[in-house]
Amino acid sequence: MEADIPFALPFMGPEEEEAVIRVLRSGWLTTGREALALEEAFAAEAAGEAPAAALAVNSATSGLHLALEACGLGPGDLALVPSYTFTSTAEVVRYLGADPVFVDLAPGSFLMDPAALETTLERLNQGLPAYPPRPGERGQGFGPRGRPRAALPVHLGGLVCDMGALGEIARRYGLKLIEDAAHAFPLAGGLSGDAAVFSFYATKTLCTGEGGMVLCRDPELAARIRVMRSHGIDRSIWNRYTDKSASWYYEVVEPGFKYNLPDILAAIGRVQLGRAASLLRMREDIAERYNGAFRGNRHLELPPTAPGNAWHLYPLRLRLETLKIDRNGFIEALKARGIGVSVHFIPLHTMPYYKQRYGLEAGDFPETLGSYRREVSLPIWPGMSGAQLDRVIDAVLATVRESRK
Ligand SMILES: Cc1ncc(COP(=O)(O)O)c(C=O)c1O
């Protein structure tokens, strides 16, 4: 049965339609005045206490790549990432010829464990391979060795990592801290790492279909990202267009990338940014309804409570020991009732590429694996009606009732 309540749906109104038509009629479709206006507004909205530069890009993946490139990551370097994330967080490390080193979740949480990060950094600083020997094994362990240069904590589902603890560790070990904030707009507390990278993908809390934004305070980092997102050309196409004196002339200073955000999408982003407070309120209301319906149910574990959750996801965890079915069976039962759901995330260390390249086994990150096995993400999108919410809640509770031990 196809889900009649989808897992995610963008919230698009006549204002977004008008913004697109305005750009289509303007004669300028690529990166220009809309992208600049979005950057300015986004920086004012998202940076937090101190000013920061916002750089619009065509995806969070591009933004993460650019941020790490600007930090100088290269072959022989290591970047510490959670295994519990989307592949973008680790693949960008490989783009640069460096290696990702996986870090487990903090017990019971969805977020990178500062203690596990520090243990791994200690091993690497002693010249040991990233991962310790498994129980019963001898020797120094396994996995990549090299220079730890960056960490990429992921604010999963809009839950913000312990940036105080991570920032302190990053300072002590000389790491760049790049926040994967793909799920986390609005970012509670604002930017606290060297850069934060947001996604405007079709399901995200600020949605333009595809797109993203990098926030950073260091002007040198911002300057490098600005040049590299646009082929390594020293002047943006918009500056060339608006500068009457030498519009045809440019210099290529690096072999850069084509990662700019077109104005058609930036215009949608400006409308969505203006809606940010009401979009968040709608997500909070849905989360509140789910929490109210599931709290106290001994078969279900609510998402952690944290101030400033952007509620990109509602990650419910099943208490499998109380149920006759596993998480996949639970999903099938919801699907049979017409409810679209998802799983966040299939751990990267279990994916063929990472597993084979680094010799990893599923049990190497027990918190990550444990969370994956019992997680199911419920629909949470602005515009869900009360009746749709009731349907999801009823489906979850009915599935629990019929499959409890
Ligand atoms: C945690 C995380 N990081 C990065 C990305 C990449 O975002 P984009 O699709 O904008 O490249 C995603 C996408 O879903 C994500 O979930």
**CA-nearest residue, atom 14 of ligand 1:** 86
Which atom of ligand 1 approaches the CA of 210 most closely? Answer: 10
Ligand 1 centroid to Cα of residue 397, in Å, is: 31
Which atom of ligand 1 approaches the CA of 180 most closely? Answer: 3
Please enumerate, as own/partner, the contacts of 86-95 that have beta carbons within 8 Å and a separation of 24 or more: 86/182, 86/345, 87/348, 87/351, 88/60, 88/61, 88/64, 88/180, 88/182, 89/64, 89/152, 89/154, 89/180, 89/348, 90/348, 90/354, 91/61, 92/61, 92/64, 92/65, 92/68, 93/68, 93/152, 95/65
Give CA separation, 50 vs 8, 253, 332, in Å.
Answer: 34, 30, 47
Task: Give residue 248's pLDDT.
Answer: 81
Question: For residues 337 and 5, what is the distance between their CA atoms, to the nearest angstrom?
Answer: 9
Question: How confident is residue 49, by pLDDT bands cut at 50, 70 and 90?
Answer: confident
Q: What are the φ and ψ backbone dihedral angles of 282, each rounded to 5 degrees?
A: -65, -40
**CA-nearest residue, atom 7 of ligand 1:** 60
Question: For residues 48 and 224, what is the distance between their CA atoms, to the nearest angstrom?
Answer: 22
Q: Decide: helix, strand or coil at residue 265.
A: helix
Give CA separation, 309 vs 4, 41, 88, 232, 284, in Å.
Answer: 27, 21, 22, 36, 8
Active-site residue (options: 176, 204, 258, 355): 204
Per DSSP, which regions of 115-222 are E strands? 147-151, 176-180, 195-199, 212-216
Ligand 1 centroid to Cα of residue 114, in Å, is: 22
Ligand 1 centroid to Cα of residue 60, in Å, is: 6
Residue that has been written with the tokens 């960056």 in this structure: 150
pLDDT tens for residues 320-356? 999 999 999 999 999 999 999 999 999 999 999 999 9
Which atom of ligand 1 approaches the CA of 211 most closely? Answer: 10
Task: Report yes or no on whether pTM surpasses 0.85.
Answer: yes
Q: Where are the domains of the chain?
A: 14-274, 276-403
Ligand 1 centroid to Cα of residue 240, in Å, is: 31
Task: Give residue 236's pLDDT.
Answer: 73
Task: Give residue 234's pLDDT.
Answer: 83
Question: How confident is residue 244, by pLDDT bands cut at 50, 70 and 90?
Answer: low
Ligand 1 centroid to Cα of residue 199, in Å, is: 6
Which H or E run contains 114?
A: helix 114-125
Task: Give residue 47's pLDDT.
Answer: 81
Ligand 1 binding pocket mutation candidate from 62, 81, 86 (most atoms within 8 A of CB): 86
Task: Give residue 1's pLDDT.
Answer: 53
Give CA separation, 277 vs 205, 273, 300, 310, 356, in Å.
Answer: 11, 8, 29, 10, 44
Question: For residues 56 and 58, what is the distance between their CA atoms, to the nearest angstrom?
Answer: 7
Ligand 1 centroid to Cα of residue 308, in Å, is: 20
User: What token pair was written down for 67?
Assistant: 């941020």
Task: Give residue 2's pLDDT.
Answer: 58
User: Which of 3.90.1150.10, 3.40.50.10860, 2.40.10.340, 3.40.50.720 would CATH assign to domain 276-403?
Assistant: 3.90.1150.10
Question: How confident is residue 246, by pLDDT bands cut at 50, 70 and 90?
Answer: low
User: What token pair was written down for 308?
Assistant: 């400033």
Active site residue 244: no
Task: Give residue 50's pLDDT.
Answer: 83
What rounded mean pLDDT belongs to the chain?
96
Query: Any idea what DSSP says for residue 345?
Result: -
Residue that has been written with the tokens 């990178």 in this structure: 112
Task: Give residue 51's pLDDT.
Answer: 86
For 14-274, CATH gives 3.40.640.10
Which atom of ligand 1 approaches the CA of 204 most closely? Answer: 14
Mean pLDDT of 302-313: 94
Mean pLDDT of 215-236: 93
pLDDT tens for residues 110-122? 999 999 999 999 9
Question: How confident is residue 247, by pLDDT bands cut at 50, 70 and 90?
Answer: confident
Which atom of ligand 1 approaches the CA of 156 most closely? Answer: 1
Q: For residue 163, with 0-12 CB atoms within 10 Å meaning exposed, 13-18 middle and 19 or more buried, which class applies?
A: buried
b or e along 166-199 (b: 16 or more beta carbons within 10 Å of the residue's beta carbon)? bbebbeebebbbbbbbbbbbbbbebbbbbbbbbb
Ligand 1 binding pocket mutation candidate from 88, 93, 159 (most atoms within 8 A of CB): 88
pLDDT tens for residues 84-115? 999 999 999 999 999 999 999 999 999 999 99
pLDDT tens for residues 274-294? 999 999 999 999 999 999 999
Task: Give residue 32's pLDDT.
Answer: 94
Mean pLDDT of 6-18: 98
Q: Check if the beta carbon of residue 11 is closer than 8 Å to that of residue 381.
A: yes
Task: Give residue 164's pLDDT.
Answer: 97
198 pLDDT more than 80: yes
Residue that has been written with the tokens 């996949």 in this structure: 328
3 pLDDT more than 80: no
Mean pLDDT of 217-221: 95
Task: Give residue 135's pLDDT.
Answer: 92
Mind spelling out the 3-state secondary structure of 292-338?
Answer: HHHCCCCCEECCCCCCCCCCCCEEEEECHHHECCCHHHHHHHHHHCC
Task: Give residue 250's pLDDT.
Answer: 87
Which residues contact ligand 1 via a Cβ below 6 A?
59-61, 85-86, 88-89, 154, 180, 182-183, 199, 201, 212
**CA-nearest residue, atom 16 of ligand 1:** 86
Ligand 1 centroid to Cα of residue 5, in Å, is: 23
Question: For residues 391 and 340, what is the distance between their CA atoms, to the nearest angstrom?
Answer: 11
Mean pLDDT of 31-55: 93
Which atom of ligand 1 approaches the CA of 62 most closely? Answer: 11
Ligand 1 centroid to Cα of residue 89, in Å, is: 8
305 pLDDT more than 90: no
